[in-house]
Structure 1
Amino acid sequence: MFFKSLFSADEDLGGRYPKSRIEEAIERVVKGTDSRLRLLPGYRKRLLAPVVGALDHAVALVDDLPPPLTVSRESYLEERQLAALFASPETMLEDLGRDLTFRGFLAGHRFHVGELTALLRAEMSERQVLGRDIVDGQMRRDVPQTLVNFVGHRLSDLAAGEEETRCLLKQRTFDHLVTLALGRLASAETERADLTRQRDLLRRKLSALEHGDLSFDSPDAPPNREALSRDLDRITEQLHALGTDERVLEIHLEMVCEVLTDARRQLWSRDISLHLDAMNIERHPRDPSGRRIILRELNDAQGHRSILLLLRFDPVELPPPEDFLTAADRYFRATR
């Protein structure tokens, strides 16, 4: 595994990472963004500092995650994060037991596996609802409230221990930064294609205007030659900034370096503080019915947000997923 070997000491050259592993990381970036970057002379040297900075950031993000929470019926009553993310201990165990990544992990291990560590990701949303509440000492209906929901629970990076899970997470974090760099290139290419179409259209309009070839379907007020020329100059300048056909690889390399160098603003985490009651209704910090809950949220430059929670659990405590035929049979029996 790439990141597992990345931190081995057998090739330590006095730096933070072995030289051969940094070269692997550089190639991972090139392969994950634009493999044609290999055609540029000196691309490894130019990517060296950005890649090392991105590695440092990936390590720091994962090392900063709190220790894993133990998953069990008993811990559900003690751990506020678990109580916030799942409606009940039964729901928690059933959801984790149905997780496709978890089921796939078990299928890949022929023998009994012991305690596992994994990352739980979920999306948090807030919804305005009307409910009952005590206002000025009286119970009232239709009181505006904020309900906090957690959906899309999914496990990733399952392993036999916390150290290996964190190692997998560091690789995932680094790869996410590479994906963000790829997104930057894709956005630039989309913009380039759109600007190219606009440029070609303006050129045709200017040519038609100069040769008097505007059709009878042209607008009452024909295009202004000077305005068309200004628009054409502006679009040509924008295209030049994105790189001419001869410089497109050079621009792509610059973009990749910028994203990796700017890793802290591309991908970051923060603690969010909530005061929730037993129904996940947001309460005032001084309201005794609410409990303060601290959750770690991961954000990226594309606007994606996820709640992160490291978990530790024994697979034998998770109920196996119910197959479709059994569920259908129970349903038909209940409706007879």
Structure 2
Amino acid sequence: MLNLFQSFFGGEKSRSHYPESLIEAAIERAVDGTDARLRHLPGYRNSLRKPVIHAVDHVVALIDALPAPLAAGREDFSTDPRLAALFVSAAQMQEVFGRDRALNAYMKQASVAAERVTALLMAERVEKNVLGVDQVGGQLRRDVAQVTVSFRKHQLMEAAEDEAESRRLLKRRAFDHLLALALARIVEMRGERADLVRQRDVLRHKLATLARNGWGFDAADAEDEAEAADPASLQSDLADVEQQLQELGADSGVLGTHLECVADLLSQAEQQLKIENVCMRLDSMNIQRDAQDAAAHDIVLPELHNARGQRSVLLLVSIIPGDLPQQENLLATAHRYL
């Protein structure tokens, strides 16, 4: 079985001119990321080759189109309205970065302390219709209809000292997310074989396991963080799932449908995963204003959408780890009180 945690998308020269080794690795990753029994089908590589190249083209273009990293140090907060929109204050921004699990994991394994780290900041955008106080016709009035914008579930992804490396990791994540969408579609498919219910449950287990390891752009739940931090355990779980799938046998009819499903979804990668700019004009309270309001700022944020209705704004940021608040060692603190 191909190691699903291995790194790829490395060293491509230009879109549609990838080294053969990358194409082959991406095909095998597509099989392992969905149903490894597809290898029982003759010609599975030929069936997946063009869809995989199409999907790789799409995710490479998607990530390459992201703007250059935004400096997100303590002193940068007041200089860019995007940061002021995403966070309540510079202190809150630093606190969010300081306790981020992905950033802390990267800093622990980094051999040399980096002066700056590039990562993808993601957050969920929430708009609410409220009644507030506002100036109308030169008079202060209550119960004025307003639209407020807030952001929650902030998290960092694919931290790296080098921007190019962070983008490469994001391309891999985007490709993996397409595979997770394909697997989700397979899970939802119905059939008449007596063991299809068991197949569905086993594949659903695999999908949940991959999701815990970050095969997508979803915000991690706090209670899942400990599980997600153990790749060895996840790899063991996946090996068990693959063994169960092999025991179910290789029904060519069912597998042919699965192969068609994967190829079809990858061929429609641009409908499955896309980025659209969200344009807003916000004041200091994150209330939407019209173009005539001189106190408001125009904010443009890329927003990632997938075919299952999930969406998150995203922004490449450049963080200064030395500026971040030190996180308390809870275990050490507990020992002090024992």
Question: So what's the TM-score if we normalise by structure 1?
Answer: 0.76
For 2:94, give the aligned amino acid: L
- Deviation per CA, 1:174-204, whole angstroms, max 9, x where unpaired? 1111111111111114x7689x99xxxxxxx
Q: Which residue of 2 aligns with 1:128?
A: 129
Q: Which residue of 2 aligns with 1:283?
A: 289
- The reply to whether residue 318 of structure 1 matches residue 324 of structure 2 is yes
Q: Which residue of 1 aligns with 2:166?
A: 165
Q: Provide the C-alpha distance between the structure 1 equivalents of 2:168 and 2:182, rounded to a whole number of angstroms.
A: 22
Instruction: Report if the CA contact (8 A) 1:118-1:155 is conserved.
Output: yes
- The reply to whether residue 253 of structure 1 matches residue 259 of structure 2 is yes
How many residues align? The count is 275
- Relative to structure 1, the CA distance from residue 60 to residue 273 in structure 2 (aligned partners, 3 Å threshold; closer, same or farther) is same
- Relative to structure 1, the CA distance from residue 326 to residue 271 in structure 2 (aligned partners, 3 Å threshold; closer, same or farther) is same
Q: Provide the C-alpha distance between the structure 2 equivalents of 1:327 and 1:85, rounded to a whole number of angstroms.
A: 32
- Deviation per CA, 1:106-162, whole angstroms, max 9, x where unpaired? 222354232111110100011122211011211012222111010000011011111
For 1:315, give the aligned amino acid: P
Q: Which residue of 1 aligns with 2:279?
A: 273
Which structure: larger Rg? 1
- Deviation per CA, 1:13-72, whole angstroms, max 9, x where unpaired? x96111122111100000001111101000001100000000000100000000000112
The 5-angstrom pairing of residues 4-83 of structure 1 reads 4-7=9-12, 16-83=17-84
Instruction: Report if the CA contact (8 A) 2:126-2:149 is conserved.
Output: yes
The 5-angstrom pairing of residues 139-288 of structure 1 reads 139-189=140-190, 247-288=253-294
Structure 1: which 5+ residue stretches go unaligned? 198-244, 329-336
Secondary structure of the structure 2 residue equivalent to 1:95: helix
Q: Provide the C-alpha distance between the structure 1 equivalents of 2:35 and 2:82, rounded to a whole number of angstroms.
A: 40
Q: Which residue of 1 aligns with 2:7?
A: 2
Secondary structure of the structure 2 residue equivalent to 1:122: strand
- Deviation per CA, 1:302-325, whole angstroms, max 9, x where unpaired? 001011100112200111124558
Q: Provide the C-alpha distance between the structure 2 equivalents of 1:254 and 1:286, rounded to a whole number of angstroms.
A: 53
Instruction: Report if the CA contact (8 A) 2:289-2:296 is conserved.
Output: yes
Q: What's the C-alpha RMSD, in Å, of the aligned pairs?
A: 2.4
Q: Provide the C-alpha distance between the structure 2 equivalents of 1:134 and 1:193, rounded to a whole number of angstroms.
A: 66
Instruction: Report if the CA contact (8 A) 1:157-1:169 is conserved.
Output: yes
- Relative to structure 1, the CA distance from residue 4 to residue 258 in structure 2 (aligned partners, 3 Å threshold; closer, same or farther) is closer
Instruction: Report if the CA contact (8 A) 1:272-1:294 is conserved.
Output: yes
- Deviation per CA, 1:197-243, whole angstroms, max 9, x where unpaired? 9xxxxxxxxxxxxxxxxxxxxxxxxxxxxxxxxxxxxxxxxxxxxxx
Q: Provide the C-alpha distance between the structure 1 equivalents of 2:63 and 2:47, rounded to a whole number of angstroms.
A: 26
Q: Provide the C-alpha distance between the structure 1 equivalents of 2:296 and 2:282, rounded to a whole number of angstroms.
A: 5
Question: So what's the TM-score if we normalise by structure 2?
Answer: 0.76
Secondary structure of the structure 1 residue equivalent to 2:288: coil
Instruction: Report if the CA contact (8 A) 1:133-1:140 is conserved.
Output: yes
Q: Provide the C-alpha distance between the structure 2 equivalents of 1:325 and 1:34, rounded to a whole number of angstroms.
A: 41
Q: Which residue of 2 aligns with 1:103?
A: 104
- Relative to structure 1, the CA distance from residue 53 to residue 143 in structure 2 (aligned partners, 3 Å threshold; closer, same or farther) is same
For 1:3, give the aligned amino acid: F
For 2:122, give the aligned amino acid: R
- The reply to whether residue 298 of structure 1 matches residue 333 of structure 2 is no
- Relative to structure 1, the CA distance from residue 145 to residue 251 in structure 2 (aligned partners, 3 Å threshold; closer, same or farther) is same
Q: Which residue of 1 aligns with 2:93?
A: 92
For 2:160, give the aligned amino acid: A
Instruction: Report if the CA contact (8 A) 1:3-1:170 is conserved.
Output: no
Secondary structure of the structure 1 residue equivalent to 2:33: helix
Q: Provide the C-alpha distance between the structure 1 equivalents of 2:112 and 2:103, rounded to a whole number of angstroms.
A: 15
- Relative to structure 1, the CA distance from residue 94 to residue 188 in structure 2 (aligned partners, 3 Å threshold; closer, same or farther) is same
Structure 2: which 5+ residue stretches go unaligned? 1-5, 198-250
Q: Provide the C-alpha distance between the structure 1 equivalents of 2:98 and 2:329, rounded to a whole number of angstroms.
A: 12
Instruction: Report if the CA contact (8 A) 1:120-1:308 is conserved.
Output: yes
Q: Which residue of 2 aligns with 1:203?
A: none
Q: Provide the C-alpha distance between the structure 2 equivalents of 1:31 and 1:128, rounded to a whole number of angstroms.
A: 45
